[in-house]
Amino acid sequence: MFGFNRAKKAAAVAAATAAAAATALLTAPSAVAAPQPIVGGSTTTTTAYPFVMQITDASQNQFCGGTLVSPTKVVTAAHCMVGETTSSVRVVGGRTYLNGTNGTVSRVSKIWIHPSYTDATNGDDVAVLTLSTSMPYTTAKYVTSSQTSVYAAGATARILGWGTTSAGGSSSNQLRTATVPTVSDSSCGSSYGSDFVQSDMVCAGYTSGGVDTCQGDSGGPLLIGGVLAGITSWGEGCAQAGYPGVYTRLTTFSNLVTTQVNS
Ligand code: ARG
């Protein structure tokens, strides 16, 4: 496979490092250049995007993102939940900064992972978490199974997360966002060969690279027209020319997600 980075634990370490770096910045605000985005993009807040959730460990260290689709249901990536249990994860809403203590923290009462999931490059990279505590935030709408035209090549997609701002870099203390164009399936297939599973994935990014999700952004939203249409899944490095980000093609899993949301 194409050097798929499932750096979830590394992302957690990076998040802790970023939090420490942010603390250090308080005493030397002009000594360090402003961090770059997701990769490319700009800072934003959970006030602007209230449905964007931090998925954290029991100590509230973020390692993935998620999207609130009902007060007690969060859509995320299956690869984020491998090895996790209902007692090992928390969902944090309304917290723009990784080192914040505000917002709402919920335990998880159920983790549903797509039953066919094996590896992100094989598809089926979707999971739904059931929260023990309702989140008092606006939820996101998600695509229906018939809305496949949203992925038309060149559509503007919005990505969001606290992930690293370069491949192998450190996480962003503040939530970041960027827009990237969707990429045709034929083009993405040319980039990734058989690791690109057209039925289960959609790609987004500029031909020249420069803007992308990266480690720690996994599980978070890809929005098209403000509607959840993808889940950050994988890519070759981050923001590399010729290697767009790969997202779970949510139309394929929409009915399964709805079953979980209504369960
Ligand atoms: N697998 C990564 C994660 O666990 C996300 C990688 C996205 N990569 C990319 N080039 N878009 O956070």
- DSSP of 178-237: EEEEEE-HHHHHHHHGGG--TTTEEEE--TT------TT-TT-EEEETTEEEEEEEE-BS
> pLDDT-derived band of residue 246, with 50, 70 and 90 as boundaries?
very high
CATH number, domain of 90, equals 2.40.10.10
In which domain, by residue range, is 76 found? 4-34+50-139+255-261
> pLDDT-derived band of residue 10, with 50, 70 and 90 as boundaries?
very low
pLDDT at 27: 33
DSSP class of residue 167 equals T
Q: Is 125 a catalytic residue?
A: yes
Q: Which of 79, 114, 171, 191 is catalytic?
A: 79
Residues 86 and 187 in one domain: no
Contact 103, 46 (CB under 8 A): yes
Return the higher-pLDDT residue of 130 and 32: 130
CA 134 – CA 60 distance, rounded (Å): 17
* CA 164 to ligand 1 center in whole angstroms: 9
Number of domains in the chain: 2
Cβ–ligand 1 contact at 162 (below 6 Å): no
pLDDT tens digits for range 92-144: 999 999 999 999 999 999 999 999 999 999 999 999 999 999 999 999 999 99
pLDDT at 8: 36
Residue 23 falls inside a structural domain: yes
> pLDDT-derived band of residue 39, with 50, 70 and 90 as boundaries?
confident
Residues 152 and 135 in one domain: no
CA 131 – CA 133 distance, rounded (Å): 5
CA 184 – CA 151 distance, rounded (Å): 8
* CA 220 to ligand 1 center in whole angstroms: 10
Q: Which of 172, 218, 233, 254 is catalytic?
A: 218
pTM: predicted TM-score of the whole model, two decimal places:
0.88
Residues 113 and 14 in one domain: yes
CA distances from 168 to 31, 79, 88, 239 (A): 22, 19, 25, 12
CA 254 – CA 251 distance, rounded (Å): 5
The contacts found for 20-24 with CB under 8 angstroms, 24 or more apart, are 21/170, 21/173, 22/97, 22/98, 22/99, 22/173, 23/99
pLDDT at 3: 37
Residues 24 and 114 in one domain: yes
CA 16 – CA 38 distance, rounded (Å): 16
Cβ–ligand 1 contact at 11 (below 6 Å): yes
Q: Is the pLDDT of residue 254 over 50?
A: yes
Of 45, 219, 69, 218, which Cα lies nearest the Cα of 135?
69
Q: Is the pLDDT of residue 244 over 60?
A: yes
Residues 24 and 108 in one domain: yes
* CA 212 to ligand 1 center in whole angstroms: 9
Residues 125 and 200 in one domain: no
Q: Is 79 a catalytic residue?
A: yes
> pLDDT-derived band of residue 178, with 50, 70 and 90 as boundaries?
very high
Q: Is the pLDDT of residue 24 over 90?
A: no
Residue 163 falls inside a structural domain: yes
Q: Is 186 a catalytic residue?
A: no
Cβ–ligand 1 contact at 213 (below 6 Å): yes
> pLDDT-derived band of residue 260, with 50, 70 and 90 as boundaries?
very high
User: What is the mean predicted confidence (pLDDT) over 228-249?
Assistant: 98
Cβ–ligand 1 contact at 235 (below 6 Å): yes
> pLDDT-derived band of residue 25, with 50, 70 and 90 as boundaries?
very low
Q: What is the mean pLDDT of the chain?
A: 89
Q: Which residues of 119-145 are buried (b: 16+ CB within 10 A; e: fewer)?
A: bbbebbbbbbbbbeeebebebbebbee
Ligand 1 nearest atom to the CA of residue 240, by list position: 10
User: What is the mean predicted confidence (pLDDT) over 5-9?
Assistant: 36
Q: Is the pLDDT of residue 38 over 90?
A: no
